[in-house]
């Protein structure tokens, strides 16, 4: 039978394992995206690059917000 601390530790270990794996996958894909910067192989303009990175930044911000720890503020009028 699992104790409460053991279950919590299992969840923590699972989180750490998946977070490390998934973070490394994202970083790898970003580095691969960087290969598109090779102007001798690809043609692009500043607007397209800005659009790509705006979307990446928006998604990172949105995802980070899911991890936020809300501050318990009292309601006041």
pLDDT score at 69: 82
Cα distance between residue 63 and residue 11, in whole Å? 20
pLDDT score at 3: 67
Per-residue pLDDT of the chain (77 residues; tens, 9 = 90+): 556 677 788 999 999 999 999 999 999 999 999 999 999 999 999 999 999 999 999 999 999 999 988 777 787 88
Cα distance between residue 60 and residue 22, in whole Å? 13
Please give the structure tokens belonging to residue 4. Answer: 């409460």
Please give the structure tokens belonging to residue 44. Answer: 């692009």
Q: What is the pTM assigned to this prediction?
A: 0.76
The answer to whether the Cα torsion of 60, 63, 59, 15 is positive or negative is positive
Residue 51, φ and ψ in degrees, nearest 5: -65, -45
pLDDT score at 56: 98
């Amino acid at each position: 039978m699992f104790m409460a601390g053991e279950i919590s530790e299992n969840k923590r270990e699972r989180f750490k394992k998946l977070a490390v794996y998934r973070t490394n996958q994202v970083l790898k894909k970003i580095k691969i995206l960087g290969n598109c910067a090779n102007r001798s192989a690809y043609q692009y303009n500043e607007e397209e690059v800005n659009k790509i990175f705006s979307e990446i930044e928006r998604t990172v911000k949105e995802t980070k917000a899911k991890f936020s720890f809300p501050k318990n503020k009292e309601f006041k009028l």
